[in-house]
């Protein structure tokens, strides 16, 4: 029986079980509980059930037309500033609170994972550029583009040092988890007006053609291909922790064999889930360090 007042699912009916209730109650995949709740409510939303198929169809057709347009006029429309103003406006006006939470959390989670890697490899020093937006104004500062650039620049800086020093990734004996936030991040209260109805995947499908239109072809393709770097980041972390089993949680794989940009929206959701599960693994390790008296109380 469902007794959680925050869940929109009906009480459990054995002849008609709700799949999202089952996924929420399941504990096989490590993930922040509030994140899981938001994701399951998002999956169960009216927008995901009825708007997503229509928006996905519109998105694919529009992306194909933009692809043709960009082939003939590659530099006619290029403005990251305009793009991010559109994204900030759209997120604030049309995206649901649950989807906004998942989007904003992703930047914080990703920044903390990269900082963890940078500070826990022996004989390596890398300065990261954390992106931790707390409001919609932060989106206007090329937030999404910087996220992709940070990831590629991080991989290049790390591996340049590994090659120069002729060493392999090896974790430090005592892990530094000071950068890992245990609970929630300091976000604003997301709008809940009658227009804030779009689920996560519908939002991404709707925004992807704008991303393609206002960015250069290099920026757009790089952003799409960056999703498969989940495997790369997962390998780095597994080498630090010496736990290859964690790689089983990675779904976006094989970055040297890129996927088509038309699947970017679905893979972006998988990218977010991979980041959340990896972050939760690190949170659990931090909590264990605290319980063992290795670190001060977690924040």
Tokens of 22: 């089952």
Phi and psi (nearest 5°) for 269?
-65, -40
Whether 206 shows a pLDDT value over 70: the answer reads yes
The pLDDT score that the predictor gives to residue 3 is: 54
**Rounded Cα–Cα distance for residues 184 and 38 (Å):** 13
The pLDDT confidence band at residue 245, using thresholds 50, 70 and 90, is low
DSSP 8-class letter at 293: T
| Collapsed DSSP state (helix, strand, coil) of residue 95 | strand
CB 22 within 8 A of CB 40: no
| Collapsed DSSP state (helix, strand, coil) of residue 226 | helix
The pLDDT score that the predictor gives to residue 296 is: 56
Whether 253 shows a pLDDT value over 90: the answer reads no
The model's pTM is: 0.91
Of 171, 62, 59, 160, nearest to 121 by C-alpha is 171
Whether 251 shows a pLDDT value over 90: the answer reads no
- Angle between the 143-165 and 230-241 helix axes, to the nearest 10 degrees? 50
The pLDDT score that the predictor gives to residue 248 is: 64
DSSP 8-class letter at 121: B
**Rounded Cα–Cα distance for residues 124 and 142 (Å):** 29
What percent of the chain lies above the pLDDT cut of 90?
63
79-115 per-position pLDDT tens digit = 999 999 999 999 999 999 999 999 999 999 999 999 9
**Rounded Cα–Cα distance for residues 16 and 27 (Å):** 21
Cα angle for residues 238, 241, 242 (degrees, 5° grid):
70
Of 85, 95, 89, 108, nearest to 35 by C-alpha is 108
1-13 per-position pLDDT tens digit = 455 556 666 567 7
The pLDDT confidence band at residue 282, using thresholds 50, 70 and 90, is very high
């Amino acid at each position: 029986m469902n007794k959680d007042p925050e869940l929109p699912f009906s009480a459990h009916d054995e002849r008609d079980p709700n799949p999202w209730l089952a996924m929420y109650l399941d504990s096989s995949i490590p993930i922040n509980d509030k994140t899981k709740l938001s994701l399951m409510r998002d999956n169960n939303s009216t927008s995901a059930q009825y708007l997503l198929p229509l928006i996905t169809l519109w998105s694919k057709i529009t992306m194909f037309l933009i692809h043709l347009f960009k082939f003939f006029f590659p530099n006619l429309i290029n403005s990251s500033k305009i793009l991010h103003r559109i994204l900030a406006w759209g997120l604030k006006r049309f995206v649901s609170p649950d989807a906004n939470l998942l989007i904003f959390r992703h930047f914080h989670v990703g920044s903390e994972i990269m900082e963890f890697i940078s500070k826990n490899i022996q004989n390596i020093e890398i300065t990261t550029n954390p992106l931790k937006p707390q409001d919609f104004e932060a989106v206007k500062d090329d937030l999404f583009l910087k996220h992709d650039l940070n990831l590629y620049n991080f991989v290049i800086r790390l591996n340049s040092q590994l090659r120069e020093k002729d060493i392999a990734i090896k974790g430090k004996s005592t892990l530094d988890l000071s950068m890992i936030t245990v609970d929630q991040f300091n976000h604003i209260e997301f709008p809940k007006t009658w227009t804030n109805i779009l689920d996560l995947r519908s939002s991404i499908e709707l925004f992807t053609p704008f991303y393609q239109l206002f960015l250069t072809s290099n920026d757009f393709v790089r952003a799409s291909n960056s999703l498969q770097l989940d495997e790369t980041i997962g390998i780095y972390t597994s080498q630090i922790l010496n736990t290859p089993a964690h790689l089983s949680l990675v779904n976006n794989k094989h970055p040297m064999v890129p996927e088509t940009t038309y699947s970017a929206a679905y893979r972006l959701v998988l990218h977010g889930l991979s980041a959340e599960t990896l972050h939760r693994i690190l949170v659990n390790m931090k909590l264990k360090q605290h319980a063992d008296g290795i670190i001060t109380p977690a924040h």
